Amino acid sequence: MIKPTPLSGFPEWLPAQQLAEQKFIDTIRSVYELYGFSRLETSAVERVGILEAKGEINKEIYGIGRLQGPPGRWEMALHFDLTVPLARYVALNSGALSFPFKRWQIQKVWRGERPQEGRFREFYQADIDVIGDGELPLSFDAEMPAVIHEVFKRLGIKAQININNRKVLLGYYQSLGLTEELSVSILREVDKLDKIGVDKVKEALLKLDLSEAAAESCLTLCRLKGAPQAVIEQAEALHIDNELFGQGLAELKFIAEELSHIGEESLIFNLGIVRGLDYYTGTIYETSLPDYPGLGSICSGGRYENLASQFINRRLPGVGISIGLSRLISHLFSVNAIDCRTQTPTKVLITWPEEALRPACRAIAARLRNSGIPAEIYHETAPLKKQLRYADRKGIDYILFPHLYSESEEQIEIKNMQTANQEQISLSSWIEQYKKSQS
């Protein structure tokens, strides 16, 4: 006998949590689709050469090979994010796609990291990206936060989306007469603002040989944070004469106008967010959850100039954002923030009190299912107490007693397990009533 033990870093949920995770996935997907994003699922496996095209993180990549004999050389591996597969897919199928190509992709990814709190080796990401052919209108930069705002609203989680634009920062550094190389180094330090605080960042900036004045100036800019309109006005008040800065600010203005329906508690402009990756070139996003500050940014992304330059000689600019779904939901589980009462989709348990009532049970079950209501007939003619215990353990909302039912008289008795209210009613009336209560 082999004792099964959990694999560290590969989370797996109990039934009630499974339902909760599915609900999150369904909600995210439905909002993505309401905005016209189309499903993409790429294979979990990529050629190693594709995954390594960007270099860097190959130490986290899981290679795969047939068990028989050790692999001479790794040829295939599991994807570690959904962006490289997107780039490869778009390059491979560019002739068959319609641009702008809007796709959602909710899939697991794998990373051979050391497992720790909130870090998994197998986890879900929930991405959207829009890819343009040659160019991509700014309206999509405004769409990303609109989608994410709607997602978290429907999930019932307070979320604050932070928006910045790299052009504002880089243009500002240009206006100070700093080189591009130095600007990138500054960004790297500014990125640590939330973690190490203003003083330490200033220290680091001075070490980069910035003058006291320049360092202070950089810090002033990156501490601008608040309602979009206010931040824009403060940035304008700096009177910076730099084209890139102006362009970035104009982009932020457009986004502020497009998102004017979203309140400050959900959307702020924050000139201090940077995103580590050099990849991003314009708008950038981070999302924090005020009720779960320890989580950090749970949803980030931005605008990039060229999705697939490693794979195709065609300029494909894009903008995208990604929800760290497994990280989010595992945290919510760990603080008991999600109702995990029910462990089945079944809404109605039809009791089976005696053999002879089986046809009635079957007819009722068919009616309920045809109305879209998940239903089970209890699987044997056990004592009622046992049947009720089953419903209770699984968290089924309604218990139905079929003894009054006949084809001509479709009367049932049904008990709401939460209110303990029990009534006799015709099956059609009950179905109608139930569906109204759900909509």
Interface of this chain with a copy of itself, residues 135 to 174, rule: CB under 8 A:
137, 139-140, 150
Residue 114 is classified by DSSP as: P
373 binds a copy of itself (CB under 8 A): yes
413 binds a copy of itself (CB under 8 A): no
Give the C-alpha separation, 437 to 439, whole Å. Answer: 6
421 binds a copy of itself (CB under 8 A): no
When binding is defined by CB under 8 A, the residue of 229, 238, 394, 417 that contacts a copy of itself is 394
* Residue 257: CB minimum distance to a copy of itself, A: 8
Q: Which stretch binds a copy of itself (CB under 8 A): 160-168, 195-203, 210-218, 311-319?
A: 311-319
* Residue 309: CB minimum distance to a copy of itself, A: 8
* Residue 49: CB minimum distance to a copy of itself, A: 6
438 binds a copy of itself (CB under 8 A): no
Phi then psi for residue 232, to 5 deg, are -60, -45
For strand 76-78 and strand 280-288, is the pairing parallel, antiparallel, or unpaired? unpaired
Q: Is 122 left (phi over 0), alpha (psi -120 to 50) or beta?
A: beta
* Residue 339: CB minimum distance to a copy of itself, A: 16
* Residue 99: CB minimum distance to a copy of itself, A: 9
Q: How far is CA 232 from the centre of its chain?
A: 28
When binding is defined by CB under 8 A, the residue of 362, 388, 411, 425 that contacts a copy of itself is 362
Q: Return the SS3 of 344.
A: coil
Q: Hey, which residues does 413 pair with through a beta bridge?
A: 401, 424
41 binds a copy of itself (CB under 8 A): yes
Residues 173-212 that bind a copy of itself (CB under 8 A): none
* Residue 229: CB minimum distance to a copy of itself, A: 17
Backbone Cα Rg of the chain: 27
314 binds a copy of itself (CB under 8 A): no
When binding is defined by CB under 8 A, the residue of 64, 227, 238, 295 that contacts a copy of itself is 64
Q: Return the SS3 of 101.
A: strand
Residues 265-294 that bind a copy of itself (CB under 8 A): none
Concatenating the DSSP letter of every residue in 43-61 gives -SEEEHHHHGGG-SGGGG-
For strand 38-39 and strand 422-426, is the pairing parallel, antiparallel, or unpaired? unpaired
Q: Return the SS3 of 432.
A: helix
Q: Which stretch binds a copy of itself (CB under 8 A): 283-291, 306-314, 417-425, 427-435?
A: 306-314
For residues 15 and 290, which CB has a smaller minimum distance to a copy of itself in the complex? Answer: 15
When binding is defined by CB under 8 A, the residue of 310, 315, 404, 413 that contacts a copy of itself is 310
Q: Which of 112, 96, 93, 105 is nearest to 42 (CA)?
A: 105
Q: How far is CA 379 from the centre of its chain?
A: 38
Here the tokens at position 64 are: 């795969």
Q: Which stretch binds a copy of itself (CB under 8 A): 134-142, 226-234, 238-246, 265-273?
A: 134-142
411 binds a copy of itself (CB under 8 A): no
Q: Which of 439, 437, 406 is nearest to 421 (CA)?
A: 437
Q: Which stretch binds a copy of itself (CB under 8 A): 186-194, 276-284, 387-395, 423-431?
A: 387-395
Q: Return the SS3 of 376.
A: strand
Q: For a copy of itself, how many residues bind (rule: CB under 8 A)?
A: 98
Residue 116 is classified by DSSP as: B
When binding is defined by CB under 8 A, the residue of 198, 211, 374, 384 that contacts a copy of itself is 374
What count of other Cβ atoms lies within 10 Å of the Cβ of residue 198? 12
Residues 67-126 that bind a copy of itself (CB under 8 A): 67-68, 70-71, 74, 76-78, 88-89, 91-93, 96-98, 100-103, 108, 110, 112, 121-122
Give the C-alpha separation, 265 to 262, whole Å. Answer: 8
* Residue 71: CB minimum distance to a copy of itself, A: 7
Question: Which of 112-150 are b and which e, b meaning 16 or more Cβ less than 10 Å from the residue's Cβ?
Answer: beeeeebebbbbbbbbbbbbbbeebebebbbbbbbbbbb
CB distance 426 to 410 below 8 Å: yes
Residues 318-347 that bind a copy of itself (CB under 8 A): 343-346
When binding is defined by CB under 8 A, the residue of 43, 334, 428, 433 that contacts a copy of itself is 43
Give the C-alpha separation, 386 to 439, whole Å. Answer: 32
When binding is defined by CB under 8 A, the residue of 173, 269, 285, 390 that contacts a copy of itself is 390
When binding is defined by CB under 8 A, the residue of 161, 375, 399, 400 that contacts a copy of itself is 375
10 binds a copy of itself (CB under 8 A): yes
